[in-house]
Chains A and B, each alone.
Chain A
Amino acid sequence: MSEVIVITSGKGGVGKTTTTANVGTGLAQLNKKVVLIDTDIGLRNLDVVMGLENRIVYNLVDVVEGNCRIKQALIKDKKYPNLFLLPSAQTRDKTSVTPEQMQKLVEELREEFDYILLDCPAGIEQGFKNAIAGADRALVVTTPEVSAIRDADRIIGLLEANEIKKIELIVNRLRMDMVKRGDMMSIEDVHEILAIDLIGAVPDDEQIVISTNQGEPLVGSDSLAGQAYLNICKRIMGEEVPLLDLESKNGVWSKFVSLFKKN
Protein backbone atom coordinates (compact mmCIF):
# COMPACT_ATOMS: atom_id res chain seq x y z
CA MET A 1 0.00 0.00 0.00
CA SER A 2 1.56 3.24 -1.06
CA GLU A 3 1.17 6.52 0.73
CA VAL A 4 1.32 10.04 -0.69
CA ILE A 5 2.69 12.58 1.78
CA VAL A 6 2.87 16.32 1.21
CA ILE A 7 5.46 18.32 3.17
CA THR A 8 4.16 21.84 3.62
CA SER A 9 4.43 24.88 5.89
CA GLY A 10 2.87 28.03 4.50
CA LYS A 11 5.85 30.16 5.40
CA GLY A 12 9.04 29.91 3.38
CA GLY A 13 12.44 29.02 4.74
CA VAL A 14 11.35 26.80 7.62
CA GLY A 15 12.85 23.63 6.16
CA LYS A 16 10.32 21.96 3.87
CA THR A 17 12.87 20.98 1.26
CA THR A 18 15.47 19.85 3.82
CA THR A 19 12.77 17.79 5.56
CA THR A 20 11.61 16.26 2.26
CA ALA A 21 15.19 15.32 1.35
CA ASN A 22 15.96 13.82 4.75
CA VAL A 23 12.67 12.01 5.30
CA GLY A 24 12.80 10.62 1.76
CA THR A 25 16.37 9.43 2.16
CA GLY A 26 15.56 8.01 5.59
CA LEU A 27 12.63 5.99 4.26
CA ALA A 28 14.92 4.69 1.51
CA GLN A 29 17.46 3.67 4.17
CA LEU A 30 14.64 1.72 5.81
CA ASN A 31 14.26 -0.20 2.52
CA LYS A 32 11.19 1.53 1.18
CA LYS A 33 10.84 2.47 -2.46
CA VAL A 34 10.51 6.23 -2.45
CA VAL A 35 9.98 9.03 -4.97
CA LEU A 36 10.39 12.71 -4.15
CA ILE A 37 8.49 15.22 -6.24
CA ASP A 38 9.56 18.86 -6.27
CA THR A 39 6.32 20.80 -6.88
CA ASP A 40 7.95 24.21 -6.52
CA ILE A 41 7.84 25.00 -10.23
CA GLY A 42 10.06 27.94 -11.11
CA LEU A 43 12.03 27.82 -7.85
CA ARG A 44 13.51 24.40 -8.10
CA ASN A 45 15.89 23.30 -5.34
CA LEU A 46 15.14 19.84 -3.99
CA ASP A 47 17.52 18.52 -6.66
CA VAL A 48 20.29 20.77 -5.30
CA VAL A 49 19.79 19.59 -1.72
CA MET A 50 19.82 15.99 -2.97
CA GLY A 51 22.96 16.68 -5.01
CA LEU A 52 21.27 15.55 -8.23
CA GLU A 53 21.07 18.80 -10.18
CA ASN A 54 23.61 17.68 -12.79
CA ARG A 55 21.46 14.66 -13.74
CA ILE A 56 18.30 16.54 -14.71
CA VAL A 57 17.12 16.01 -18.28
CA TYR A 58 13.33 16.07 -18.03
CA ASN A 59 11.13 17.54 -15.32
CA LEU A 60 7.64 17.54 -13.82
CA VAL A 61 6.20 19.85 -16.46
CA ASP A 62 7.65 17.68 -19.25
CA VAL A 63 5.86 14.67 -17.77
CA VAL A 64 2.56 16.49 -17.37
CA GLU A 65 2.72 17.93 -20.89
CA GLY A 66 3.59 14.54 -22.35
CA ASN A 67 7.06 15.49 -23.60
CA CYS A 68 8.47 12.38 -21.96
CA ARG A 69 7.43 9.29 -20.00
CA ILE A 70 7.51 9.38 -16.19
CA LYS A 71 10.37 6.84 -16.15
CA GLN A 72 12.52 9.14 -18.27
CA ALA A 73 12.14 12.04 -15.84
CA LEU A 74 12.82 10.09 -12.64
CA ILE A 75 16.37 10.52 -11.37
CA LYS A 76 17.88 7.69 -9.36
CA ASP A 77 19.69 8.74 -6.17
CA LYS A 78 23.47 8.54 -5.98
CA LYS A 79 23.49 6.27 -2.91
CA TYR A 80 20.14 4.52 -2.71
CA PRO A 81 18.85 2.66 -5.76
CA ASN A 82 15.32 2.63 -4.30
CA LEU A 83 15.15 6.43 -4.06
CA PHE A 84 14.07 8.63 -6.97
CA LEU A 85 13.55 12.33 -7.63
CA LEU A 86 11.10 13.95 -10.02
CA PRO A 87 12.57 17.45 -10.37
CA SER A 88 10.63 20.62 -10.93
CA ALA A 89 10.91 22.88 -13.98
CA GLN A 90 12.93 26.02 -13.50
CA THR A 91 11.84 27.99 -16.56
CA ARG A 92 8.08 27.74 -15.99
CA ASP A 93 5.68 28.76 -13.26
CA LYS A 94 2.98 27.24 -11.03
CA THR A 95 0.22 27.66 -13.62
CA SER A 96 1.93 25.12 -15.88
CA VAL A 97 0.31 22.31 -13.89
CA THR A 98 -3.24 21.79 -12.57
CA PRO A 99 -4.33 19.91 -9.43
CA GLU A 100 -6.05 17.32 -11.66
CA GLN A 101 -2.82 16.67 -13.55
CA MET A 102 -0.93 16.27 -10.27
CA GLN A 103 -3.54 13.83 -9.01
CA LYS A 104 -3.21 11.76 -12.16
CA LEU A 105 0.59 11.77 -11.97
CA VAL A 106 0.55 10.68 -8.33
CA GLU A 107 -1.93 7.89 -9.07
CA GLU A 108 0.44 6.52 -11.71
CA LEU A 109 3.39 6.62 -9.31
CA ARG A 110 1.43 4.80 -6.60
CA GLU A 111 1.80 1.55 -8.53
CA GLU A 112 5.58 1.71 -8.36
CA PHE A 113 6.42 3.25 -5.01
CA ASP A 114 5.80 2.75 -1.28
CA TYR A 115 6.08 6.45 -0.48
CA ILE A 116 5.53 9.47 -2.68
CA LEU A 117 6.75 12.66 -1.01
CA LEU A 118 5.63 16.02 -2.37
CA ASP A 119 7.79 19.03 -1.55
CA CYS A 120 5.28 21.88 -1.44
CA PRO A 121 6.13 25.49 -2.31
CA ALA A 122 5.59 28.26 0.25
CA GLY A 123 2.30 30.11 0.07
CA ILE A 124 -1.33 29.06 -0.30
CA GLU A 125 -1.84 29.68 -4.00
CA GLN A 126 -1.80 27.45 -7.08
CA GLY A 127 1.46 25.70 -6.17
CA PHE A 128 0.06 24.70 -2.78
CA LYS A 129 -3.20 23.52 -4.36
CA ASN A 130 -1.25 21.43 -6.88
CA ALA A 131 0.90 19.85 -4.18
CA ILE A 132 -1.92 18.81 -1.86
CA ALA A 133 -4.26 17.60 -4.61
CA GLY A 134 -3.19 13.97 -4.54
CA ALA A 135 -1.99 13.69 -0.94
CA ASP A 136 -3.23 11.21 1.69
CA ARG A 137 -1.22 12.68 4.50
CA ALA A 138 0.49 15.95 5.35
CA LEU A 139 3.57 16.82 7.37
CA VAL A 140 3.38 20.43 8.46
CA VAL A 141 6.83 21.87 9.13
CA THR A 142 7.19 24.86 11.41
CA THR A 143 9.93 26.56 13.36
CA PRO A 144 9.21 27.78 16.90
CA GLU A 145 8.61 31.34 15.68
CA VAL A 146 5.29 33.11 15.92
CA SER A 147 5.17 33.99 12.23
CA ALA A 148 5.85 30.41 11.11
CA ILE A 149 3.25 29.10 13.54
CA ARG A 150 0.62 31.54 12.34
CA ASP A 151 1.18 30.35 8.78
CA ALA A 152 1.21 26.70 9.84
CA ASP A 153 -2.15 27.24 11.53
CA ARG A 154 -3.59 28.68 8.33
CA ILE A 155 -2.19 25.77 6.33
CA ILE A 156 -3.69 23.22 8.74
CA GLY A 157 -7.07 24.90 8.31
CA LEU A 158 -6.75 24.66 4.52
CA LEU A 159 -5.62 21.01 4.68
CA GLU A 160 -8.60 20.18 6.87
CA ALA A 161 -10.91 21.99 4.45
CA ASN A 162 -9.44 19.84 1.66
CA GLU A 163 -10.23 16.73 3.68
CA ILE A 164 -6.70 15.57 4.25
CA LYS A 165 -7.35 13.49 7.33
CA LYS A 166 -3.88 12.77 8.59
CA ILE A 167 -2.02 15.97 9.44
CA GLU A 168 1.12 15.80 11.57
CA LEU A 169 3.52 18.38 12.88
CA ILE A 170 7.31 18.68 12.66
CA VAL A 171 8.88 21.36 14.83
CA ASN A 172 12.12 22.25 13.13
CA ARG A 173 15.18 24.20 14.25
CA LEU A 174 14.51 23.95 17.95
CA ARG A 175 17.15 25.55 20.17
CA MET A 176 16.84 24.14 23.65
CA ASP A 177 19.19 26.71 25.18
CA MET A 178 16.87 29.47 23.97
CA VAL A 179 13.77 27.58 25.09
CA LYS A 180 15.26 27.22 28.56
CA ARG A 181 15.97 30.94 28.73
CA GLY A 182 12.38 31.62 27.71
CA ASP A 183 13.44 33.26 24.46
CA MET A 184 11.89 30.61 22.23
CA MET A 185 8.65 28.69 22.24
CA SER A 186 8.90 25.15 23.49
CA ILE A 187 7.45 22.15 21.63
CA GLU A 188 4.67 22.24 24.19
CA ASP A 189 3.86 25.89 23.38
CA VAL A 190 3.73 25.13 19.67
CA HIS A 191 1.65 22.04 20.19
CA GLU A 192 -0.84 23.87 22.35
CA ILE A 193 -1.61 26.37 19.60
CA LEU A 194 -1.64 24.05 16.61
CA ALA A 195 -3.21 21.08 18.40
CA ILE A 196 -2.30 18.36 15.88
CA ASP A 197 -0.22 15.22 16.42
CA LEU A 198 3.50 15.83 16.72
CA ILE A 199 5.53 13.45 14.57
CA GLY A 200 8.95 14.83 15.42
CA ALA A 201 11.13 17.67 16.61
CA VAL A 202 14.42 18.49 14.91
CA PRO A 203 17.06 20.50 16.75
CA ASP A 204 18.83 23.41 15.14
CA ASP A 205 22.05 21.82 13.97
CA GLU A 206 24.84 23.32 11.90
CA GLN A 207 25.42 19.88 10.41
CA ILE A 208 22.19 20.46 8.44
CA VAL A 209 23.68 23.50 6.73
CA ILE A 210 26.84 21.56 5.95
CA SER A 211 25.00 18.56 4.55
CA THR A 212 22.66 20.74 2.48
CA ASN A 213 25.61 22.53 0.97
CA GLN A 214 27.21 19.19 0.15
CA GLY A 215 24.05 17.83 -1.41
CA GLU A 216 23.93 14.82 0.91
CA PRO A 217 21.04 14.47 3.37
CA LEU A 218 22.35 13.69 6.86
CA VAL A 219 19.48 11.45 8.00
CA GLY A 220 20.76 8.48 9.97
CA SER A 221 24.13 10.06 10.66
CA ASP A 222 25.56 10.50 14.15
CA SER A 223 24.30 14.05 14.41
CA LEU A 224 21.28 14.88 16.55
CA ALA A 225 19.33 16.19 13.58
CA GLY A 226 20.19 13.02 11.65
CA GLN A 227 18.75 10.88 14.43
CA ALA A 228 15.69 13.09 14.76
CA TYR A 229 14.93 12.68 11.04
CA LEU A 230 15.36 8.92 11.21
CA ASN A 231 12.91 8.78 14.12
CA ILE A 232 10.40 10.73 12.04
CA CYS A 233 10.79 8.16 9.25
CA LYS A 234 10.13 5.30 11.65
CA ARG A 235 7.04 7.03 12.98
CA ILE A 236 5.79 7.59 9.43
CA MET A 237 6.05 3.83 8.93
CA GLY A 238 3.95 3.32 12.04
CA GLU A 239 6.72 2.32 14.40
CA GLU A 240 6.34 3.50 17.98
CA VAL A 241 9.40 5.59 18.71
CA PRO A 242 8.90 7.49 21.96
CA LEU A 243 8.42 11.20 21.47
CA LEU A 244 10.71 13.42 23.42
CA ASP A 245 9.74 13.56 27.06
CA LEU A 246 9.43 17.26 27.75
CA GLU A 247 8.72 16.83 31.42
CA SER A 248 11.98 15.06 32.19
CA LYS A 249 14.49 17.05 34.21
CA ASN A 250 17.26 16.12 31.84
CA GLY A 251 15.68 18.12 29.09
CA VAL A 252 15.36 17.35 25.46
CA TRP A 253 19.04 17.24 24.60
CA SER A 254 19.92 14.36 26.87
CA LYS A 255 16.82 12.58 25.65
CA PHE A 256 18.10 12.90 22.13
CA VAL A 257 21.45 11.60 23.27
CA SER A 258 19.96 8.69 25.15
CA LEU A 259 17.84 7.73 22.15
CA PHE A 260 20.95 7.86 20.05
CA LYS A 261 22.87 5.65 22.48
CA LYS A 262 20.16 2.99 22.40
CA ASN A 263 20.53 2.78 18.68
Chain B
Amino acid sequence: MSQPVVLKSNPHGINLILDDRIPFQELLDEILHKFKESDKFFKNARIALSFEGRELSQEEELAIVDLISRNTSIDVVCILDNNSLRDEICARKIQEFDESQSGRTGEFYKGTLRSGQVIECKTSIVVLGDVNPGAKIIAKGNIVVLGSLRGNAYAGAAGDEHTFVAALDMDPVQIKIGNVIGRSSDRGPLSAIKNRRKTLEPQVAVVMDDSILIEPITSGLLMNI
Protein backbone atom coordinates (compact mmCIF):
# COMPACT_ATOMS: atom_id res chain seq x y z
CA MET B 1 0.00 0.00 0.00
CA SER B 2 1.43 3.34 -1.02
CA GLN B 3 -0.26 5.26 1.76
CA PRO B 4 -0.82 3.76 5.18
CA VAL B 5 -4.07 5.77 5.65
CA VAL B 6 -6.61 6.79 3.03
CA LEU B 7 -9.73 8.88 3.72
CA LYS B 8 -12.71 8.08 1.57
CA SER B 9 -16.05 9.75 1.86
CA ASN B 10 -19.30 7.82 1.66
CA PRO B 11 -22.97 8.86 2.04
CA HIS B 12 -22.79 8.58 5.84
CA GLY B 13 -19.37 10.01 6.54
CA ILE B 14 -15.82 8.84 6.13
CA ASN B 15 -14.35 5.47 5.42
CA LEU B 16 -10.79 5.01 6.72
CA ILE B 17 -8.74 2.59 4.68
CA LEU B 18 -5.90 1.44 6.93
CA ASP B 19 -2.66 -0.40 6.38
CA ASP B 20 -2.59 -3.61 8.41
CA ARG B 21 1.21 -4.00 8.44
CA ILE B 22 2.50 -0.97 10.29
CA PRO B 23 2.39 -0.81 14.12
CA PHE B 24 -0.78 0.68 15.61
CA GLN B 25 1.00 3.67 17.20
CA GLU B 26 2.48 4.59 13.84
CA LEU B 27 -0.94 4.25 12.28
CA LEU B 28 -2.40 6.68 14.81
CA ASP B 29 0.20 9.26 13.86
CA GLU B 30 -0.63 8.79 10.21
CA ILE B 31 -4.35 9.20 10.90
CA LEU B 32 -3.74 12.34 12.93
CA HIS B 33 -1.62 13.71 10.12
CA LYS B 34 -4.34 13.01 7.53
CA PHE B 35 -7.08 14.64 9.55
CA LYS B 36 -4.96 17.65 10.43
CA GLU B 37 -4.33 18.11 6.73
CA SER B 38 -8.00 18.26 5.95
CA ASP B 39 -9.25 19.79 9.20
CA LYS B 40 -10.43 22.97 7.48
CA PHE B 41 -12.40 20.95 4.97
CA PHE B 42 -14.11 18.91 7.67
CA LYS B 43 -14.69 21.88 9.95
CA ASN B 44 -17.32 21.03 12.58
CA ALA B 45 -18.63 18.18 10.47
CA ARG B 46 -20.73 15.43 12.01
CA ILE B 47 -19.70 12.16 10.49
CA ALA B 48 -20.06 8.42 10.84
CA LEU B 49 -16.72 6.65 10.77
CA SER B 50 -16.01 3.27 9.28
CA PHE B 51 -12.82 1.24 8.94
CA GLU B 52 -11.49 -0.96 6.22
CA GLY B 53 -8.34 -2.93 5.49
CA ARG B 54 -7.36 -3.71 9.08
CA GLU B 55 -8.95 -5.64 11.90
CA LEU B 56 -9.25 -3.31 14.88
CA SER B 57 -10.02 -4.16 18.47
CA GLN B 58 -12.64 -2.11 20.28
CA GLU B 59 -9.92 -0.30 22.23
CA GLU B 60 -8.13 0.57 19.03
CA GLU B 61 -11.29 1.90 17.43
CA LEU B 62 -11.94 4.04 20.48
CA ALA B 63 -8.38 5.28 20.46
CA ILE B 64 -8.82 6.48 16.87
CA VAL B 65 -12.12 8.23 17.63
CA ASP B 66 -10.58 9.81 20.71
CA LEU B 67 -7.62 11.01 18.68
CA ILE B 68 -9.87 12.61 16.07
CA SER B 69 -12.16 14.34 18.54
CA ARG B 70 -9.30 15.71 20.62
CA ASN B 71 -7.31 17.10 17.73
CA THR B 72 -9.92 18.27 15.23
CA SER B 73 -13.35 19.90 15.21
CA ILE B 74 -14.92 16.80 13.68
CA ASP B 75 -17.74 15.23 15.66
CA VAL B 76 -17.71 11.46 15.24
CA VAL B 77 -21.31 10.47 15.73
CA CYS B 78 -20.86 6.73 15.46
CA ILE B 79 -18.73 3.94 14.10
CA LEU B 80 -20.24 1.99 11.27
CA ASP B 81 -19.52 -1.63 10.78
CA ASN B 82 -18.02 -1.87 7.32
CA ASN B 83 -17.66 -5.46 6.47
CA SER B 84 -18.87 -5.97 2.94
CA LEU B 85 -18.41 -9.72 3.08
CA ARG B 86 -20.62 -9.98 6.15
CA ASP B 87 -23.22 -7.70 4.52
CA GLU B 88 -23.23 -9.89 1.49
CA ILE B 89 -23.67 -13.08 3.49
CA CYS B 90 -26.46 -11.49 5.49
CA ALA B 91 -28.29 -10.33 2.38
CA ARG B 92 -27.92 -13.74 0.80
CA LYS B 93 -29.20 -15.52 3.91
CA ILE B 94 -32.20 -13.20 4.12
CA GLN B 95 -32.97 -13.77 0.46
CA GLU B 96 -32.62 -17.55 0.84
CA PHE B 97 -34.91 -17.45 3.83
CA ASP B 98 -37.48 -15.38 1.93
CA GLU B 99 -37.39 -17.81 -0.94
CA SER B 100 -37.69 -20.86 1.26
CA GLN B 101 -40.60 -19.25 3.04
CA SER B 102 -42.45 -17.94 -0.01
CA GLY B 103 -44.49 -21.10 -0.36
CA ARG B 104 -44.97 -21.63 3.36
CA THR B 105 -45.86 -18.35 4.95
CA GLY B 106 -48.44 -15.92 3.77
CA GLU B 107 -50.24 -12.66 4.15
CA PHE B 108 -53.89 -11.78 4.27
CA TYR B 109 -55.53 -9.02 2.33
CA LYS B 110 -59.02 -8.06 3.35
CA GLY B 111 -61.13 -6.23 0.80
CA THR B 112 -61.97 -6.24 -2.86
CA LEU B 113 -59.26 -5.45 -5.39
CA ARG B 114 -60.73 -3.15 -7.97
CA SER B 115 -59.59 -2.29 -11.48
CA GLY B 116 -56.16 -0.68 -11.44
CA GLN B 117 -55.18 -1.99 -8.00
CA VAL B 118 -52.16 -4.26 -7.69
CA ILE B 119 -50.93 -6.32 -4.76
CA GLU B 120 -47.40 -7.68 -4.71
CA CYS B 121 -46.41 -10.14 -2.06
CA LYS B 122 -43.12 -11.91 -1.25
CA THR B 123 -44.90 -14.87 0.28
CA SER B 124 -48.24 -16.50 -0.41
CA ILE B 125 -51.41 -14.45 -0.17
CA VAL B 126 -55.00 -15.01 0.83
CA VAL B 127 -57.46 -12.40 -0.43
CA LEU B 128 -60.68 -12.09 1.54
CA GLY B 129 -62.73 -10.48 -1.19
CA ASP B 130 -63.02 -10.34 -4.96
CA VAL B 131 -60.35 -9.59 -7.54
CA ASN B 132 -62.10 -7.61 -10.25
CA PRO B 133 -61.14 -7.36 -13.93
CA GLY B 134 -58.23 -4.95 -14.35
CA ALA B 135 -56.82 -5.77 -10.88
CA LYS B 136 -53.71 -7.88 -10.38
CA ILE B 137 -52.18 -10.05 -7.64
CA ILE B 138 -48.53 -11.00 -7.83
CA ALA B 139 -47.13 -13.41 -5.23
CA LYS B 140 -43.87 -15.34 -4.96
CA GLY B 141 -45.86 -18.12 -3.35
CA ASN B 142 -49.43 -19.30 -3.77
CA ILE B 143 -52.59 -17.26 -4.24
CA VAL B 144 -55.91 -18.06 -2.61
CA VAL B 145 -58.95 -15.89 -3.32
CA LEU B 146 -61.89 -16.31 -0.99
CA GLY B 147 -64.21 -14.65 -3.46
CA SER B 148 -64.35 -14.23 -7.22
CA LEU B 149 -61.10 -14.13 -9.17
CA ARG B 150 -62.03 -12.13 -12.27
CA GLY B 151 -58.75 -10.29 -12.81
CA ASN B 152 -55.13 -11.34 -13.20
CA ALA B 153 -53.21 -13.62 -10.84
CA TYR B 154 -49.49 -14.35 -10.97
CA ALA B 155 -48.26 -17.03 -8.57
CA GLY B 156 -44.66 -18.20 -8.20
CA ALA B 157 -43.49 -14.81 -9.41
CA ALA B 158 -39.84 -15.79 -8.78
CA GLY B 159 -40.27 -18.64 -11.26
CA ASP B 160 -41.61 -21.40 -9.03
CA GLU B 161 -43.98 -23.53 -11.10
CA HIS B 162 -45.00 -25.65 -8.13
CA THR B 163 -47.22 -22.90 -6.77
CA PHE B 164 -50.97 -22.69 -7.30
CA VAL B 165 -53.86 -20.25 -7.60
CA ALA B 166 -57.12 -21.19 -5.90
CA ALA B 167 -60.43 -19.31 -5.85
CA LEU B 168 -63.98 -19.89 -4.69
CA ASP B 169 -65.16 -18.52 -8.03
CA MET B 170 -62.54 -18.96 -10.72
CA ASP B 171 -63.14 -16.65 -13.68
CA PRO B 172 -59.78 -14.97 -14.33
CA VAL B 173 -58.66 -12.91 -17.30
CA GLN B 174 -55.15 -14.36 -17.00
CA ILE B 175 -53.31 -16.69 -14.69
CA LYS B 176 -49.54 -16.97 -14.68
CA ILE B 177 -47.72 -19.57 -12.61
CA GLY B 178 -43.93 -19.42 -12.74
CA ASN B 179 -43.30 -18.78 -16.43
CA VAL B 180 -46.44 -20.48 -17.70
CA ILE B 181 -49.29 -18.23 -18.73
CA GLY B 182 -52.94 -19.05 -19.37
CA ARG B 183 -55.75 -16.79 -20.47
CA SER B 184 -59.53 -16.92 -20.51
CA SER B 185 -61.40 -18.12 -23.58
CA ASP B 186 -62.22 -15.61 -26.31
CA ARG B 187 -65.84 -15.03 -25.47
CA GLY B 188 -66.97 -11.42 -25.25
CA PRO B 189 -67.08 -9.69 -21.89
CA LEU B 190 -70.89 -9.65 -21.72
CA SER B 191 -71.22 -13.39 -22.29
CA ALA B 192 -68.50 -13.91 -19.68
CA ILE B 193 -70.78 -12.18 -17.21
CA LYS B 194 -73.98 -13.79 -18.45
CA ASN B 195 -72.58 -17.31 -18.66
CA ARG B 196 -70.89 -17.39 -15.28
CA ARG B 197 -71.45 -20.66 -13.51
CA LYS B 198 -74.64 -20.68 -11.55
CA THR B 199 -73.32 -22.91 -8.80
CA LEU B 200 -70.03 -21.77 -7.42
CA GLU B 201 -67.38 -24.41 -7.18
CA PRO B 202 -63.95 -23.74 -5.71
CA GLN B 203 -61.24 -24.39 -8.28
CA VAL B 204 -57.48 -24.46 -8.35
CA ALA B 205 -55.04 -23.68 -11.13
CA VAL B 206 -51.72 -25.56 -11.34
CA VAL B 207 -49.04 -26.12 -13.97
CA MET B 208 -49.26 -29.45 -15.75
CA ASP B 209 -47.18 -30.26 -18.84
CA ASP B 210 -46.22 -26.61 -19.34
CA SER B 211 -49.77 -25.35 -19.38
CA ILE B 212 -52.20 -24.03 -16.80
CA LEU B 213 -54.74 -26.58 -15.67
CA ILE B 214 -57.84 -25.49 -13.76
CA GLU B 215 -59.71 -28.14 -11.80
CA PRO B 216 -62.29 -28.37 -9.03
CA ILE B 217 -60.66 -28.66 -5.63
CA THR B 218 -60.83 -32.24 -4.42
CA SER B 219 -59.07 -33.90 -1.53
CA GLY B 220 -57.02 -36.02 -3.92
CA LEU B 221 -55.85 -32.96 -5.77
CA LEU B 222 -54.94 -31.16 -2.55
CA MET B 223 -52.59 -34.01 -1.62
CA ASN B 224 -50.69 -33.52 -4.87
CA ILE B 225 -49.98 -29.80 -4.69
Contact = CB atoms under 8 A, between A and B. Distances in A.
Contact of A150 (B115, B117, B130, B190): B115
B202 to A, nearest CB: 18
A157 B117 contact: yes
Contact of A146 (B113, B114, B190): B190
Interface of A: 146, 150-151, 153-154, 156-158, 160, 182-185, 189, 193, 195
B189 interface: yes
B184 to A, nearest CB: 14
16 contacts: A146-B189, A146-B193, A150-B115, A153-B133, A153-B134, A154-B114, A154-B134, A156-B114, A157-B115, A158-B116, A160-B114, A182-B194, A183-B190, A185-B193, A185-B194, A189-B194
A185 B113 CA distance: 21
A151 B134 CA distance: 10
Contacts of A182: 194
Given A156-B114, A157-B114, A157-B117, A150 B194 contact: no
Given A150-B133, A153-B132, A153-B134, A189 B115 contact: no
Given A150-B134, A189-B194, A193-B132, A157 B189 contact: no
Contacts, number: 38
A189 B193 CA distance: 7
Contacts of B133: 150, 153, 193
A92 to B, nearest CB: 28
B148 to A, nearest CB: 8
Most buried by B among A150, A160, A182, A189: A150
Contact of A154 (B112, B115, B150, B190): B115
Nearest to B116: A154
SS of B interface (majority): loop
Nearest to A147: B189
Nearest to B132: A153
Contacts of B116: 154, 157-158
Nearest to B193: A189
A169 to B, nearest CB: 13
A183 B193 CA distance: 11
A184 B190 CA distance: 7
Contacts of A150: 115, 133-134
A153 B190 contact: no
A27 to B, nearest CB: 29
Interface in B89-144: 112-117, 130, 132-134
A185 B190 contact: yes
